[in-house]
Amino acid sequence: MILVVAILAVAVTTALTYYFTGGFTASRGTGGFTSSSEAGGQCRSENSLPDPVCTPGATDPNVTQDNIQSTICVPGYSSSVRPPVSYTEPLKLQSIQQYGYNDTSPSDYEYDHLIPLELGGNPTDTKNLWAEPSYGTYTSFDKDGFENYLHAQVCSGGLSLVQAQTEIASDWVKYWIEAGQP
């Protein structure tokens, strides 16, 4: 049993390292909002997913599978590590420009942690933050619901932390649909 867990851990770690270092591009779902690179942005959002080069996601090294019951599974954890608006608002405006969105109204976007805080996402690393549209086929509201679902699965032991982080960072739309759009 220990050998199987060790092999699985190595496989998942290798896959995550490969993904987050640009070794492959995650498959993208269908439908949703696409930003316009022609509008001056260097990043591109396709099908309601962030650009995997600009926003690959980043995890908080202080959160592990071994300590989830004393970190992310404690009510109020996300609030305790969430950066202040004074930090995120200027970055949100910069992200709207980097993604080249035609709509530049900040109120139409959530400055989103790709790997959410409730799943051990890094609170301040800009590789984990992007201006996510609140409109389109798949919206920030849909992703928020999926984040809550994955959080419940991880905290109840139904899903590993790494698996939840992988699903949300690689193609949350695909996994959200597969889970029945919770």
Residue 98 gets which letter from DSSP? H
Question: What is the per-residue pLDDT for 40?
Answer: 56
Question: What is the per-residue pLDDT for 41?
Answer: 75
Please check whether residue 109 is in contact with residue 92, taking contact to mean a CB–CB distance below 8 angstroms: yes
What tokens does 83 get? 């950066």
pLDDT in tens, the chain (182 residues): 443 333 333 334 333 333 333 332 332 233 333 344 344 579 999 888 999 999 999 999 999 999 999 999 999 999 999 999 999 999 999 999 999 999 999 999 999 999 999 999 999 999 999 999 999 999 999 999 999 999 999 999 999 999 999 999 999 999 999 999 99
Q: Provide the H-helix boundaries in the chain.
A: 2-20, 77-81, 85-98, 140-156, 161-178
Residue 57's beta-bridge partner residues? none
Q: What is the pTM of this model?
A: 0.78
Question: Whole-angstrom Cα distance, residue 120 to residue 77?
Answer: 10
What angle do helix axes 161-178 and 140-156 make, rounded to 10 degrees?
130
What tokens does 143 get? 């992703």
Question: Whole-angstrom Cα distance, residue 140 to residue 181?
Answer: 13
Question: Whole-angstrom Cα distance, residue 145 to residue 182?
Answer: 6
Question: Whole-angstrom Cα distance, residue 78 to residue 102?
Answer: 31
Question: What is the per-residue pLDDT for 108?
Answer: 95
Q: Quick one: how many helices (H) and strands (E) in the chain?
A: 5, 2
Residue 84 gets which letter from DSSP? P
